[in-house]
Amino acid sequence: MKTWTDRYCTAFGIAVALVLLAPALDEVLAGLTRQVDPSRMGAGVALAALAYAGYLVLARTFGPVAVSAADAAWLLLSPLPRRGVLRKTVGILLAVALLTGLALGVGLLSALGAPDPFMVRLLTAGVLGISATTGGMAVAVLAQASQSWDTWLLAMIIAVVVLAVLAAVLGGGPWRPLLSAVAGAPACVGSAVAVVAATATAVLVRLAWAALERVPARSILAASTRTGQVVTATVLLDPGTLTWIAEDEHWRRRRLRSRPLPRRLPAPLAPAWPDWRRAARRPGRSALLLASAALPALAARAGGGLTPVVLTVLAAGALITAAACTAGVRRDRNDPSLARLSGIGARPALAARALLPALAGGGWLALALTGLVATGALSAGPWWLFGLVAAPALAVGALRMARRGPVDHSLPPIPTPFGVMFTGPVLWALTGADLAALGCAPALMALGAQPPDLGSYLLAQALTGTGVAAVFLLRRRSH
């Protein structure tokens, strides 16, 4: 039971956080009182819808009803009332839904604009955002208790993604006035929609509260295990553990058919073949990575050009796509015995494992650059060729990320004017990204300058990317 000291510390911490965030919040709200360019509305609404779809996916993945390890061991299976045991969890879920809903409402208002009356539209957007996130969380709780509700939740996620696609399509071309009409609707219409959404959310919350007694204990235990692993990895500042959690959770209950290796497969490609088979056995993830190539174009359309945020999304997306194909390298680093028994040298094996990340990262970058050209964020030209010539640098950057160890917390912190910087997590995060940035330097310079002739930049990128990859693969290394 919490004491008055605990409550005081919590309230004082919230008050200090509000004081620290007040200037940034005031700046954000001041930027909302403007008329948004109709050509940017569709992309902004699409990004907000995709963020909401990601929120629903996370709620469905993590449970969302979970308890601590002690409560799962002692209280969950006891004859105590289930709602009393889960009361703390319900409070946490409501807090998460509230904060996420406020952020979603502000993002939606930023996409549509709020010229007048500002406070009414801000309140309406906040109610709509909180209703959407709280209702989605309630549906996720119901899905944890019933398979039929899980089907409805999946349909909800698909519908939100379709809405995002429609918003992106309607944002350009002859359908643009439709979004302008929605943004310019009277405030009373938005208030009525907010009241209906809040009423529907209240009904869903009531159903979810009643369904807490019917949530199977095994479902809560599984969600508690996943949440506990994520919390442990976060507290210990070891994000690399999260990839293993996701991999093990996906393959744990799946039966895979054994197939022989191709007969004419060269020996160095044999250890890398499971990575290709793993990618083929997860078509959903491959389709998601392919669809995410449209994110830089949406961000450029919503932000009004090739901003630093768009460049960050572009670089991070290409590197993440390449790193998604390096599960075999991560396992070889943790358990090198199989690589040693194969009798294949470290350099040929690593070069063979670089093919799939190069294909994935380079292809993603080429598609993303094509989208930026189509939206007008980049000048006309063969920008997609940078995806091909930057593929080796992206591949070796992803391999370096896969071969890095856990975070070294023994490194000394560095005091800075902005606070203490912990060097262990910073060095861990930069490992791999530094090599990719070095190898893709000509491409980044071309994106910043946007020259009329890309030939010299393409040649420089081809030489730099190939040179960085050659140095990484040819230097002496052990299994």
Q: What is the pLDDT of residues 181-229, one digit of tens each?
A: 776 777 788 888 889 999 999 999 999 998 888 888 888 888 888 777 7
**Is the predicted pLDDT of residue 385 greater than 90, yes or no?**
yes
Count Cβ atoms within 10 A of the Cβ of residue 290 and give its class: 0-12 exposed, 13-18 middle, 19 or more buried. middle
Model pLDDT for residues 16-60, shown as the tens digit of each residue: 887 877 777 777 666 666 666 667 777 888 888 999 999 999 898
CA distance to 42, 300, 388, per residue, from 34 (Å): 16, 19, 41
Cβ-contact 314, 439 below 8 angstroms: no
Please state whether 414 falls in left (phi above 0), alpha (psi between -120 and 50) or beta. beta
Sign of CA dihedral 232, 236, 239, 240: negative
For position 479, what pLDDT does the model report? 44
Angle at alpha carbon of residue 253, lines to 247 and 257, rounded to 5°: 90
Sign of CA dihedral 461, 464, 467, 472: negative
For position 420, what pLDDT does the model report? 74
**What are the phi and psi torsion angles at 21 (to 5°)?**
-90, -10
428/430 Cα distance (integer angstroms): 6
CA distance to 45, 169, 289, 309, per residue, from 163 (Å): 9, 10, 19, 24
Instruction: pLDDT band for 387, please (50, 70, 90 cuts).
Output: very high
Model pLDDT for residues 229-242, shown as the tens digit of each residue: 777 766 666 666 77
Cβ-contact 90, 64 below 8 angstroms: no
For position 303, what pLDDT does the model report? 76
CA distance to 19, 106, 144, 299, per residue, from 25 (Å): 10, 10, 35, 21
Q: Crossing angle of helices 118-145/4-32, nearest 10°? A: 130
What is the full DSSP assignment across 3-56? -HHHHHHHHHHHHHHHHHHHHHHHHHHHHHSSPPPHHHHHHHHHHHHHHHHHHH
338/262 Cα distance (integer angstroms): 19
> Any idea where the domains of the chain sit in the sequence?
10-233, 237-249+268-474
Q: Which residue has the higher pLDDT, 79 or 447?
A: 447
Per-residue pLDDT averaged across 423-447, rounded?
89
